[in-house]
């Protein structure tokens, strides 16, 4: 089970887990780009591959996207 935490810290959530975005750090330079891909508050995402230290592979809004751990560290999520 996941509480609200950084996406990069969902090591206890297995591949296939469904999560909801609670917030995205305003410090993130690429926040607008992430929002254009569907990363915004209340968006649902599924973890496809979570094998640290590799980038995370997630499904969001029907797309499969790879994001770095640095970016994932600024996206906050909670379990479905």
Write the Ramachandran bin of 37: left for phi over 0, alpha for psi from -120 to 50, otherwise beta: alpha
**Location of structure tokens 């296939």:** 16
Task: Quick: pLDDT tens for 12-65.
Answer: 567 888 999 998 888 767 788 788 888 889 999 999 998 888 999 999 999 999
What number of other Cβ atoms are within 10 A of residue 39's Cβ? 23
Count each helix (H run) and each strand (E run) in the chain, helices first: 2, 6
Q: CATH no. for residue 66?
A: 2.30.30.90
- Highest-scoring range by mean pLDDT, 2-6, 30-34, 43-47, 68-72: 43-47
Q: What is the pTM of this model?
A: 0.81
How many distinct structural domains can be found in the chain?
Answer: 1
Beta strand pairing call for 75-79 and 18-24: antiparallel
19: containing domain? 5-79
Q: Is the pLDDT of residue 68 over 50?
A: yes
Q: What is the pLDDT of residue 1?
A: 46
């Amino acid at each position: 089970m996941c509480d609200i935490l950084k996406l990069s810290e969902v090591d206890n959530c297995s591949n296939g887990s469904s999560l909801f975005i609670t917030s995205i750090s305003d410090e993130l330079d690429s926040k607008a780009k992430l929002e254009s891909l569907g990363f915004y508050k209340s968006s649902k995402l599924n973890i496809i591959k979570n094998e640290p230290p590799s980038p995370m592979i997630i499904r969001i809004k029907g797309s499969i996207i790879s994001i770095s751990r640095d970016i994932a560290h600024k996206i906050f999520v909670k379990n479905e």
